[in-house]
């Protein structure tokens, strides 16, 4: 059973994801005015459940921001997407943050495939991803050749995928335990 603070945190995360998805669809940006308050609220909300919960939220926040910065440097995710993912992972807590990240990645891949297929560019995108993976495996590059960018160079609205990933993870910890990846 979730505490009142955890319920508020999950509701805030769902709301933030909804707003982020709308702005990302419209402008391909996730504004700092949304992500920075989300990041700032994650640890204090967790603190209502004790020092341990606050420390865990801090560790999740730092880890996702660090790993997300590396991913952002490769051009796969935008900075707003990284901050949104870090915020909602911290709000979800551990181990639900693993579910959030995994479902967000899965939804992001499906979204990229759907957008590429709808635009008739699936072959071009898959060949760029295949080339990026091959060069990464060979140690020549750390980039996936812009996997979050379609063949026209248009960014995929990844906040939509993060929103769906967070919603699925929330469903897993609240009403559908079968959706949980990590127990």
Quote the CA–CA distance of 43 and 51 in Å, as a whole number: 10
113 three-state secondary structure: helix
Residue 87 in any domain: the answer is yes
Angle at which helices 96-118 and 158-174 pack, to 10 degrees? 140
180 within a domain of the structure (yes/no): no
Q: Note whether residue 181 is domain-resident.
A: no
| Intra-chain end-to-end CA distance of the chain, in Å | 14
Domain that holds residue 96: 4-175
Of 11, 59, 56, nearest to 38 by C-alpha is 11
149 forms bridges with which residues in the sheet?
Answer: 155
Stretch 57-83: mean pLDDT: 94
Domain count within the chain: 1
Residue 38 lies in a domain: yes
Helix, strand, or coil (residue 65):
helix
pLDDT confidence tier of residue 116, bands split at 50, 70 and 90: confident
Place of tokens 């560019």: 121
- Which pLDDT tens digit goes with each residue over 3-16? 788 889 999 999 99
In a domain, 182, yes or no: no
For residues 170 and 152, the model is more confident at 170
Question: Has residue 138 been placed in a domain?
Answer: yes
Give the list of residues 6+ apart from residue 154 with CB closer than 8 angstroms, or none: 28
The Cα angle at residue 102 between residues 80 and 143, in degrees rounded to 5: 60
* Residue 183 covered by a domain: no
The two structure tokens encoding residue 24: 């990302």
pLDDT in tens, 72-100: 998 888 999 999 999 999 999 999 999 99
Cβ–Cβ < 8 Å for 169, 103: yes
- Reported as a pLDDT band with limits 50, 70 and 90, residue 137 is low
> What's the pTM?
0.84
Q: Which sign, positive or negative, has the C-alpha torsion 148, 167, 103, 169? A: positive
Query: Between residues 143 and 171, which one has the greater pLDDT?
Result: 171
Residue 111: both structure tokens together: 């979204």
User: Is 135 inside a domain boundary?
Assistant: yes
């Amino acid at each position: 059973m979730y505490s009142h603070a955890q319920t508020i945190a999950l509701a805030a995360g769902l709301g933030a994801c909804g707003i982020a998805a709308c702005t990302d669809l419209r402008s391909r940006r996730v504004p700092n005015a949304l992500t920075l308050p989300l990041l700032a609220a994650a640890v204090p909300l967790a603190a209502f459940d004790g020092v341990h919960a606050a420390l865990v939220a801090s560790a999740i926040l730092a880890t996702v921001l660090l790993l997300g910065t590396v991913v952002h440097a490769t051009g796969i995710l935008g900075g707003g997407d990284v901050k949104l993912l870090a915020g909602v992972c911290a709000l979800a807590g551990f181990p639900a943050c693993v579910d959030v990240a995994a479902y967000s990645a899965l939804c992001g891949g499906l979204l990229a495939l759907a957008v590429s297929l709808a635009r008739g560019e699936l072959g071009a995108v898959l060949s760029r991803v295949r080339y990026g993976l091959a060069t990464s495996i060979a140690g020549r590059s750390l980039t996936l050749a812009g996997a979050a960018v379609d063949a026209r160079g248009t960014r995929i609205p990844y906040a939509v995928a993060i929103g769906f990933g967070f919603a699925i993870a929330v469903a897993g910890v609240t009403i559908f335990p079968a959706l949980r990846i990590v127990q």
